[in-house]
Structure 1
Amino acid sequence: MATLKMTGLPAMRRQHLLAEFSGLKQVCPDGVFVSLTPGDPMLWSGVIFVRKGPYAPAILRFHISFTDTYPSLPPLVTFSTDIFHPLITPLTTYVHTTDITDSGTVSATDEERLPPGGFSLRHGFPAWFGRATTRSRQTSGQHPASSPSASGTPPPLPPRSTIPGGGSHQSTPESKTSVSVAVGGSPSASLFAQSQAAHAHPATSTYDVLRYLASTFDSEAVLDGIPLEAAGNPGAWHAWRSRQRAKGRGNPVVDVRGEVRKLEDGRGPTPRKPGEWNWEGVWEERVKRGVQASLSEAVLFGQGQGDEVINFLNMDEGDVRGVKDNLLRTLGAAGAS
């Protein structure tokens, strides 16, 4: 009992985060780089190099802010790079809430409201969001749990095959985290969570969060599985659905009551707003502009980068080769000793 009480102290939580960060030095999702803010282990800075998928080859900056309640409650992930994404609230607005009621209303005092650039974790980690998981459990005929940690609902992380760098570390057994990726019929994250609710899982780690972040940019299957109520940018969600419909890859849509509706085939009920809007080409154009902006010299090497923990140097090919040679010599000398 004393051990459990000690782990709840802020100092112990900070040590836990430092230990997790040290582990990431040995294994980290491919293309993801993170660094601690000097003097504050509760604030991490990171960069995602998207090397494949619909958002390649974007370079995206983000920050993770932990509280003393982590891992019982989720961290706050915010992107400073402006990118059109279903899970990221626009930088110029403050309109998204992570709690959407059955009537569609939103509380102005909602404690789970995301700031501009905030990344919604509800799809990947529903157990962290009590009201969302309560609805899911009631839909599946289960009794509400008193806390997310007691629910036994696993975070529906994408399978290893769809996430870079996931082969060397996995806190959740592979057999319990598979996601159907069949074209035209993959279930939503809500249905996946319901079907897996009987399995016990360990606590979510920062590696799981980073792995999920990367997957939402390079895996179409993950994007297809996002339900509307988990979206940080509903406009981007509808634009992505329109893009997939044009490619014949529509998936079932799950509403806030857990009921599956076929919106893609045109035979089911279609919401008047904003589902009836013409989203043709919107996703392609907005994402193209965002990716190009993320690669521009002004963004990568601009004056504002002085406030960032992770910075980029504008080097020519000769300098890059010299740095690589020095690194190889250093690594070779270290291996020989």
Structure 2
Amino acid sequence: MHAFHLPAAGSMTLLGNLPSLQRQHLLSEFAGLKQTCPEGVLVTLAPGDPTLWSAVLFVRHGPYAPAVLRFHMSFPDTYPASPPLILFSTDMFHPLICPLTTYMYTTDVQEHGEAGAADRERLPPGGFSLRHGYPAWFGQRAGTPDASTARQGGRAAAAPGSGPRARGAQAGSSAPPDESSSDDSSSSSNTPRDWGAGKASASVAGILGYVRSAFDTAEVLDAVPLAAAGNPGAWHAWRTHRRREAARADAGHASPAADNDGGGEQAPPPPPTPPPPPGAGAREPGEWNWDGVWEARVKKGVAASLSESVLYSGSGVADDMIRFLPMAQADVDSLKETIRGMLGGAA
């Protein structure tokens, strides 16, 4: 579902500043969303500016359900040769979203956690990384890890509790792939629309589908390499969460056999990670204790996104075109009947 707001005839100042081909391309893509917009996504244009789109994502299932997330898409003059900038105004702990309180880099995570990305690849607060879904925009071939992925993956695989996993693991497993593997471990059946497509064939509908899948499909997050993460902390926390899920599932399968054997002593929980000794360098994110962090942060973020102060106060952006109003259930039912009547009459 989506909302249309084509620019009025009298507000064409910004339109005139755009190359005609790009203006036509963006307006055409927006019009095409009537048939191709992913379910659960509302999108509209800023009046007189087809390069700025406002959107709301309703996460209906998956690890981030039932969050309601606001974001904006800003298209450069060189689109589709260059990627759009996607900015989330709803705060959410997510591997692909740069925290709202800091700047992060999406490429070339160096030794000791230092970031060496070029300024053009710098993500502002709230920025959503497209490096995994659309590597061609960032000089990578789909399924090809860069040097930083190999460096970080080697350290992460050696971190406590992150033993190696076979890269040929079954697609249905709840455990993430080996952290040294790249996104080529993901199944092609999980590819939403033009995910991984080249620059020329990328579409806004495909980008929106990829953004949605990053919130409602766990396997998409499993396939994200560290070098493509917008929030390395959330990346480590997610993978720890997935390992714990796999361990619980394995324990559940093994428990009947243990009961038949008369029961046995359960293995004690792993000890907490000790603090570094005085004078030692700061631990890298892969060496931190991330147990329970993803669950707590996401639960808090989802609850905040559903609060009345967030839902009905807008995103705080002056030109946000999508607003919600609190309505009683009787009013909602009446409005639905009115809409059904209008659609029936049009048919």
Task: Tell me the TM-score normalized by structure 2.
Answer: 0.69
Q: Where do 1:99-118 residues align within 5 Å?
A: 99-100=107-108, 105-107=114-116, 110-118=119-127
The aligned length equals 263
SS at the partner of 2:289? coil
* Alpha-carbon distance change, 236 to 229 in structure 1, aligned in 2, over 3 angstroms: same
Match of 2:166 in 1: none
Measure the CA separation in 2 of the matches of 1:200 and 1:305.
31
> Which amino acid is 1:191 matched to?
D
Once the two structures are TM-superposed, the CA of residue 97 in structure 1 deviates from its matched residue by: 1.3
* Counterparts in 2 of 1:137 and 1:226: CA distance versus 1, 3 Å: closer
Of structures 1 and 2, the larger Rg is shown by: 2
Q: For 1:313, which of 309, 312, 325 is the aligned residue?
A: 325
| Structure 2 counterpart of 1:231 | 229
C-alpha displacement at 1:273, in angstroms? 1.1
Is 1:191 the counterpart of 2:184 in the alignment? yes
Is structure 2 residue 61 aligned with structure 1 residue 63?
A: no
Task: Kindly provide the amino acid, as one letter, of the partner of residue 105 in structure 2.
Answer: T
How far residue 302 of structure 1 moved from its aligned partner, in angstroms, is: 2.0
The aligned counterpart of 1:52 is 61
Partner of 2:22: 13
Deviation at 1:13, TM superposition (A): 0.9
Q: Which amino acid aligns with 1:181?
A: A
1:210-249 pair list within 5 angstroms: 210-248=208-246
For residues 127-206 of structure 1, the aligned pairs below 5 Å read 127-130=136-139, 132-133=140-141, 136=144, 181-183=171-173, 184=175, 186=177, 189-191=182-184, 203-206=201-204
State the Cα distance separating 1:312 from its structure 2 match: 0.3
Q: Distance in 2 between matches of 1:63 and 1:294?
A: 16
Q: TM-score, normalised by structure 1?
A: 0.71
Change over 3 Å in CA distance of 1:212–1:305 after alignment to 2: same
CA distance in 2 between partners of 1:80 and 1:115 (Å)? 11
Report if the CA contact (8 A) 1:99-1:110 is conserved.
Answer: no
Instruction: State yes or no: 1:284 paired with 2:295.
Output: yes
1:195-244 deviations in Å (ceiling 9; x for gaps): 99xx9866110111000000000001001111111100000011101101
CA spacing shift, 1:285–1:138, aligned 2, 3 Å: closer
Gaps of 5+ in 1: 1-8, 140-179, 251-270
Identity %: 56
Structure 1 residue 138 displacement after superposition: 8.4
- Tell me how large the CA RMSD over aligned residues is: 3.0
- Tell me the alpha carbon deviations over residues 270-297 of structure 1, each in whole angstroms, 9 at most, x when there is no partner: x951112111111011000100000000
Alignment of 1:77 onto 2:86? yes
CA spacing shift, 1:327–1:82, aligned 2, 3 Å: same
The one-letter amino acid paired with 1:325 is: E
Q: Which amino acid aligns with 2:63?
A: P
What residue in structure 1 maps to residue 278 of structure 2?
Answer: none
Cα separation, partners in 2 of 1:137 and 1:116, compared to 1, 3 Å: closer
Counterpart secondary structure, 1:215? helix
TM-superposed CA distance for 1:72, in Å, is 0.8
User: In the TM superposition, what is the alpha-carbon distance from 1:137 to its structure 2 partner?
Assistant: 8.1
